[in-house]
Chains A and B, each alone.
Chain A
Amino acid sequence: MSNVQDALFRALSDPTRRGIFERLCREGEKTVGALTAHAGVSQPVVSKHLAVLKTAGLVRDRHEGRQTHYSAEIRALAPLADWTTEMAGFWESRFDALEDLLKRMDQ
């Protein structure tokens, strides 16, 4: 797996973090406060999750006065939708099946 994909998978592996990201996708830009109201965890925890998402390129922030507004960067998901990624896994498993078959076949 590439580093970019790895970072994306790791960032989205946590259900709370995924919930935050999905909410930003659905509802658009939000402050930490607004996100905390629905996240079921404390504001520092939400901030920590946002930092991980930001590192993975999944959210961007915008400072306005004392508030920071976060929004989803849905384009960051593009590497996961690349057909070559899906097919590489498919063919690796088919090669395994082919080798198994060759072992079973008569000469």
Chain B
Amino acid sequence: MTDTATELRSVVVEREIAFPPEKIWRALTQPHLIQEWLMKNDFKPVPDHRFKLTAEWGSVDCRVLEIEPNRTLAYTWDAYGLESTVTWTLTPIGSGTHLRMEQAGFRPDQEQAYQGARFGWQRFFENLEQVLARAD
């Protein structure tokens, strides 16, 4: 499995939101608003600005990569050995905005089954019963 050990993976979440891009942009780029839906932060809408997102469980190191008001926002997202990039894309549609988030990145050890199992094992079992209760 070594040749897939650094395979790029991504998560995409997309939603149609009944608000205009300008309003969503504010929520994505103003620190006091970011804090309300994501985490505490020292974000600035400036290319190359380094910022941290902090929560009770830890923090995420970020750097602004791309910023095009009301359209695109990209930043790095590094936490717990995961090196990734988060890209927000806002597209106006008749009733509001199509909002797309893609997180793409690597976790070098993710394909090593033993590492993965060790990493996921405890938390997985801690949460298993609750997850199943919700799934039913």
A64 contacts partner chain B, Cβ-Cβ < 8 Å: no
Which residues on the B side are within 8 Å of A92 (C-beta)? 13
Interface of B is mostly: helix
Whether B82 is near chain A, meaning CB under 8 Å from some CB there, is: yes
Q: Which residue of B lies closest to A25 (CB)?
A: B117
Nearest-neighbor residue (CB-CB) of B106 within chain A: A83
Q: Which of A75, A77, A98 contacts B120 (CB 8 A)?
A: A77
Instruction: Contact check, A74 vs B114: say whether CB atoms are below 8 A apart.
Output: yes
Interface size bracket, B side: 35 or more
A98 CB, min distance to chain B CBs, angstroms: 4
Interface residue total, chain A, C-beta cutoff 8 A: 29
Chain A residues near B24 (CB-CB < 8 A): 98, 102
Contact of A81 among B23, B103, B105, B120 (CB under 8 A): B120
Q: Does B33 contact A (CB under 8 A)?
A: yes
- Asked if A48 CB lies within 8 Å of chain B CBs, one says no
User: Chain A: interface secondary structure?
Assistant: helix
A102: chain B residues at CB < 8 Å are: 17, 19, 23-24, 27
Would you call A18 an interface residue if the criterion is a C-beta within 8 Å of the partner chain's C-beta atoms? yes
Q: Does A97 contact B (CB under 8 A)?
A: yes
Residue in chain A with minimal CB distance to B35: A101
Within 8 A of A (CB), among B60-115: 82, 99, 101, 103, 105, 107, 110-111, 113-115
A65-100 with Cβ < 8 A to chain B? 74-75, 77-78, 80-84, 87-88, 91-92, 94-95, 97-100
- Residues of A participating in the B interface, judged by any CB pair closer than 8 Å: 1, 9-10, 12-13, 18, 74-75, 77-78, 80-84, 87-88, 91-92, 94-95, 97-102, 105, 107
